């Protein structure tokens, strides 16, 4: 069996404490510092990742807003375009109706003028015909009334045939 002496335990303990003190003075602080630095860098990386995630969320939100604004702008432009189209169509219809009314009024006026002209010509022909009949009656200078009436009736029949 192995026997343990107190002297060996004491000297081993003293050596262990000395090694521990030497390690604490020389190696322990740099190891702890390195571990703290590593922990800090991991923490910073996590914070940067959170910031990046937050920025991505903000960008997505901004993109959604921009898309919504673009859709609204497109809808407004389409609405304005429809209104302009409807205005142009209604103006064209109004102009066409006005032009049609003007043409109809001109046609009616022309018809009325031609009607007056035809009536005037008819009156002139009737007057001319009446004068011709009167001239013929006077030329004949008939003394007989029955002969004169017969002659007027004949001329009237003749005038109706023409």
Tokens standing for residue 134: 């009167």
Q: What is the pLDDT of residue 13?
A: 93
DSSP 77: H
> Could you say which residues of the chain have pLDDT below 50?
none
Q: What is the pLDDT of residue 1?
A: 55
Segment 49-69, tens digit of pLDDT: 999 999 999 999 999 999 999
Q: What is the pLDDT of residue 160?
A: 65
DSSP 4: -
Query: In whole angstroms, how large is the CA radius of gyration of the chain?
Result: 63
């Amino acid at each position: 069996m192995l026997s343990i002496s107190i002297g060996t335990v004491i000297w081993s303990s003293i050596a262990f404490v000395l090694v521990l003190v030497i390690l604490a003075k020389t190696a322990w602080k740099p190891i702890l510092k390195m571990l703290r630095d590593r922990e800090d860098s991991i923490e910073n990386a996590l914070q940067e990742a959170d910031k990046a995630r937050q920025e991505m969320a903000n960008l997505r939100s901004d993109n959604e807003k921009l898309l919504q604004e673009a859709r609204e702008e497109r809808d407004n432009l389409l609405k304005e375009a429809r209104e302009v189209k409807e205005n142009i169509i209604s103006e064209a219809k109004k102009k066409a109706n006005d032009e049609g009314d003007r043409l109809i009024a001109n046609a009616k006026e022309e018809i009325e003028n031609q009607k007056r002209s035809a009536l005037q010509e008819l009156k002139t022909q009737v007057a001319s015909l009446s004068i011709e009949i009167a001239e013929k009656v006077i030329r004949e200078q008939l003394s007989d009334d029955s002969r004169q009436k017969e002659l007027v009736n004949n001329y009237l029949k003749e005038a109706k045939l023409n």
